[in-house]
Amino acid sequence: MGIKLEQKHLFGILYVCLAASILADVLVNFHGQAEAQAHTAFLWQTIPGFSAIYGFVGCVLIIVVSKALGHLWLQREEDYYEKH
Amino acid sequence: MIEWVHPGLIFILGALLIPVLKGRWKKIYLLLLPIAALIDLLYMSTSRGVFWRIPLLGYELVFGRVDQLSLVFGYVFTIAAFCMTLYALHVKEDGHHVSAFLYVGSTLGVVFAGDLFTLYLFWEVMAFSSLFLIWYRKTKASSEAGFRYIMVHIFGGICLLAGIILHVQNTGSIAFNSFNWGTGWGYLPSYLIFLGFLINAAVPPLHAWLADAYPEATITGAVFLTAFTTKSAIYVLIRGFSGVEILIWLGAIMAVYGVIYAVLENDIRRLLAYHIISQVGYMVCGVGIGTWMAIDGSIAHAFCHILYKALLFMGAGVVIEMTGRSKFTELGGLYKYKYMPLTFWLYMIGAFSISGFPLFNGFVSKTMVVEASAMADLPIVWLLLEGASIGTFLHTGLKVPYLTWFGRRDKDKEPVVEPVKEPPKNMFVAMGITAFLCVFIGVYPQALYGILPYPADYNPYAASHIIAMSQLLLFTFVAFWLLRGMLHGTPTITLDTDWFYRVLGKKFIWFCEKPLISFADSIDEKVRRIADSFVWFSKNPPVASRIMMLTVSTVFLRPFNPNPLYTRYANDLEELRKLYPAEVHRLAIGSGVLLVLMFFTLYLIIYLTYGVLWV
């Protein structure tokens, strides 16, 4: 029960952080144009929440692509090198 | 006047005394050596230039090139050596300590080497001393992995030596400075040296030795291995090949490559080893970009990486030490055991650092390289490097702790792995100090920026950086949590480029031993027969030639049988063969002398008439 409650709290904190990071991004874009410009090299960096999208999509891609590569090609049984 | 000694010498000569000392004194001595080296380095930093010049065979060896670049690497190697020695203080084998100190000392030798011969000397000592940190594990797997490790490094060393020799032949100078770069055969010496460096930097496809050997090393030896070989390679790349464009791409691909392999790994230290490759990718990329900020970023990242990667390997080492297991499929649910929460949190400091969380040291160095790629207008490189950050947090920061300390074990009601051994306390003190340094640099990056060779005009804590990094990592967590079911370890190994020498190599050896050798044997047999027939012939040439003629004649005459000629020949042949070699007709000794005299006369005639009768 204690663990369950703790996990719930942790997820509460997580959601707040997620929202805060997006909100902060929007605010910085809105208010500190000049400051934001100084650190913007590519077009996509002006999109608010780009890093969030990239983080999520990138993570899913890394897992799925690697797993596919592993299953189709690279992963072998543990004694592969003894047998071959 | 030089008031300091070479810091590498402190380690190398100091190592010789280790077996003599006993008990408490040995431990104190082990810790004092890195401290002495660090104090020595601080003395060195007051004087810049070239010291310890020793003339040799018309060349000048330079053991002490002191400038800001070599000093930064010197500092971090010495600090890391102290933390690692503390972590390894409980190890009983003297040989283990000696090889670790030789390894550290030779790396410092590489760092302060001002000429190529000195560089090569220490380069080889580095390879061989580190080998024993693998072999001291004393398992079959470690012995085999060690052999493969040293084979690859011997190959790299030979490339380096060949390059150095050609370079010295072409330029006449052994000074170790930036090498010429371009395309064409004229740059062959540079290519060979470059190849030697790339092997030590573990750049794919030449990287497999790292992920193969490091996880098989001893628990404390692996911690040493993480720091020195790859980072000294980064140092020499900065010296020799900064701004070489191909490094940008090699580095960016390398950063992602390590991440992809880390997904598939089931061994905790092999996963971390693939993340060394990934992190070194950032540094290689920075060297390739070659701007001040990129080079500074590479150096800063090497500095931070040495600390947090040591910390991560220390954490993994404690787990292996306590449970005797290293595979995710055999670990899980460790958090509730004694010492484990402490290990977990110290490990997590390393994990936050490598992932580049704000306030941890990875953030202040990694973002520098990424920013440099943006300033050099390399969008694809930027995306690859940021993508590698995602993967780094996903594995080191989420997958490893999840599968080691928490994991599905509770849910599945499978028996949890119980720690069987109490870990030595010094391991935790070492982790604590390393963790403190990671956080210290993260909070106060000026301490690091202040010692970088170029003026680093970079502020990591700009609002946009913090926000972008936080978003990236937080949403990585979201994706991880949704897909965590896919990340459980599977009892498999993953093929990598070591397949080429482990499987194809074995097949090649088989090919040499079986088909090639039997082919060679058959050739041998034929040649021997020809030789035999010459021997037979020379026993009595006149009779032998008669036998041969008779043989040919009988072969031709056989179709016209019966034939009186044929019968006669056949009888003669049989008789001659029976008698052969028969009596050899011998000449008197006088005829030999006559032949010699005739020869000399001919020679005399040619000699006297040359230029008179003919030209």
How large a percentage of chain B has pLDDT more than 70?
A: 98
**A2 pLDDT exceeds 50?**
no
User: Which residues of B fall within a CB distance of 8 Å from A55?
Assistant: 390, 471-476, 479
Q: Which of B272, B276, B316, B307 is nearest to B405 (CA)?
A: B316
| ipTM (interface pTM) | 0.89
Contact between B254 and B304 under an 8 Å Cβ cutoff? The reply is no
pLDDT digits (tens, 9 = 90+) for B210-235: 999 999 999 999 999 999 999 999 99
* Minimal CA separation from B293 to chain A, in Å: 14
Residue B294 has pLDDT above 90, yes or no: yes
Could you read off the pLDDT of B244-260 as tens digits, one per residue? 999 999 999 999 999 99
Contacts of B476 in chain A (CB under 8 A): 55-56, 58-59
Query: Chain A to chain B, count of Cβ pairs less than 8 Å apart?
Result: 145
What whole-number distance in Å separates Cα of residue B569 and Cα of residue B566?
5
Q: How far is CA B173 from the centre of its chain?
A: 26
Q: What is the mean pLDDT of chain B?
A: 91
The yes-or-no verdict on residue B471 having pLDDT over 80 is yes
Query: For A78, which of B493, B496, B503 is closest by C-beta distance?
Result: B493
B344-385 tens-digit pLDDT: 999 999 999 999 999 999 999 999 999 999 999 999 999 999
Say if the Cβ atoms of B495 and A80 lie within 8 Å: yes
**Lowest model confidence (mean pLDDT) among A3-17, B281-295, B469-483:** A3-17
Q: What is the pLDDT of residue A5?
A: 58
Q: How far is A5 from chain B (nearest CA, A)?
A: 16
Where do we find the tokens 């100190």?
B101
The answer, yes or no, to whether residue B86 has pLDDT greater than 70, is yes
Q: How far is A32 from chain B (nearest CA, A)?
A: 10
- Flag if B503 and A28 touch (Cβ within 8 Å): no
In the predicted structure, residue B324 carries a pLDDT above the cut 80: yes
Q: Is the pLDDT of residue B388 over 90?
A: yes
Three-state SS string across B223-268, please?
HHHHHHHHHHHHHHHHHHHCCCCHHHHHHHHHHHHHHHHHHHCCEH
For residue A32, what pLDDT band results from cuts at 50, 70 and 90? low
Backbone angles phi, psi at B492, to 5 degrees: -135, 165
Provide the b/e sequence for B272-311 (b: ≥16 CB within 10 Å): bbbbbbbbbbbbbbbbbbbbebbbbbbbbbbbbbbbbbbb
| Residue A28 pLDDT | 76
At residue A13, the pLDDT reads: 86
Give B-chain residues touching A67 at CB under 8 angstroms.
263-264, 486
Residue of A nearest to B465 (CA): A39
Q: List chain A domain ranges.
A: 2-83
Give B429-446 pLDDT, tens digit per residue.
999 999 999 999 999 999
pLDDT for the residue B415 = 46
**CB contact at 8 A, B435 and B350:** yes
pLDDT at A37 over 70: no
**For residue B458, is pLDDT > 90?**
no
Task: Pick B492's closest partner by Cβ from A22, A51, A75.
Answer: A75
Q: What is the pLDDT of residues B178-198, one digit of tens each?
A: 999 999 899 999 999 999 999
Residues in CB range of B157: below 8 A, 6 or more apart: B120, B123, B124, B127, B196
Chain A residue numbers touching B491 (CB-CB < 8 A): 77-78
Interface contact A35-B464, CB threshold 8 A: yes
* Closest chain A C-alpha to B490 CA, distance in angstroms: 9
Peptide bond into B189 cis (omega under 30): no
| B462 at interface of A, judged by CB pairs closer than 8 A | yes
Q: Where are the domains of chain B?
A: 1-179+191-240, 242-493, 497-536, 540-584, 587-615
Would you state the pLDDT for residue B1? 44
Percent of chain B topping pLDDT 90: 72
Instruction: Evaluate if residue A6 carries a pLDDT over 80.
Output: no
Mutate to test the interface with B, among A4, A60, A62, A81 (most CBs of B within 10 A): A62
Count of positions (residues) in chain A: 84
What are B554-609's pLDDT values in tens digits? 888 888 877 788 888 888 888 888 888 777 777 788 888 999 999 999 999 999 99
- Residue B468 gets which letter from DSSP? H
Provide the pLDDT for residue A16: 87
Say which residues have a Cβ less than 8 Å from residue B217's Cβ, sequence separation at least 6.
B133, B134, B136, B137, B142, B225
Whether A4 has a pLDDT exceeding 70, the answer reads no
B377 contact residues in A (CB cutoff 8 A): 41
Among B103-117, B275-289, B484-498, whose mean pLDDT is lowest?
Answer: B484-498
Identify the top-confidence range among A68-72, B350-354, B481-485, B489-493. Answer: B350-354
Burial of B51 (0-12, 13-18, 19+ CB in 10 A): middle
Asked if the C-beta of B386 comes within 8 angstroms of chain A's C-beta atoms, the answer is yes
Q: Where is pLDDT greater, at B410 or B19?
A: B19
> What pLDDT digit, counting tens, does each position of B35-69 carry?
999 999 998 888 888 888 888 888 999 999 999 99
Choose among A22, A28, A62: nearest Cβ to B390: A62
The DSSP secondary-structure symbol of B358 reads T
Residue A6's φ and ψ, nearest 5 degrees, are -60, -45
The region of weakest confidence among B262-266, B277-281, B392-396, B461-465 is B461-465
CB proximity under 8 Å: B 206-265 to A = 259-261, 263-264
Is the pLDDT at A36 greater than 60? The verdict is no
User: Cα–Cα distance between B94 and B35 in angstroms, integer?
Assistant: 20
Residues of B in contact with A24 (CB under 8 A): 463, 467
- Matching residue, tokens 């560089």: B119
Give the Cα separation of B330 and B491 in Å (integer): 9
Q: Per-residue confidence at B414, pLDDT binned at 50, 70, 90?
A: low
Do the Cβ atoms of A55 and B467 come within 8 Å?
A: no
φ and ψ at B444, to 5 degrees? -125, 70
Measured between CA atoms, the residue of chain B closest to residue A66 is B260
Return the pLDDT at A35: 53
Token readout for A39 is: 């650190």
Predicted local distance difference test score (pLDDT) of residue A1: 37
- Residue B13 CB-density burial (10 A; 0-12 exposed, 13-18 middle, 19+ buried): middle
Instruction: Average the pLDDT over A23-38 and give the result.
Output: 67
Handedness of CA B289, B292, B297, B299 (dihedral sign): positive
A9 to chain B nearest CA, in Å? 16
* DSSP per position, B410-421: HHHTPPPPPP-S
Query: Before B562, cis peptide (omega within 30)?
Result: yes
Q: What is the mean pLDDT of residues B525-532?
A: 96
The pLDDT of residue B410 is above 60? no
* B472 lies within 8 A of chain A by CB: yes
B263 and A70: CB-CB below 8 Å?
A: yes
Alpha helices in B393-504 (DSSP H): 400-405, 409-412, 425-443, 446-449, 463-483, 498-499
**For B164-173, B323-332, B359-368, B524-533, which range has the lowest pLDDT when averaged over its residues?**
B323-332
Q: Which neighbouring-strand residues pair with B267?
A: B327
What confidence score (pLDDT) does residue B83 get?
A: 96
Q: How distant, in Å, are the alpha carbons of A21, B289, B369, B439, B529 from that of B362? A: 20, 19, 11, 9, 72
Look up residue B180 and give its DSSP letter.
Answer: P
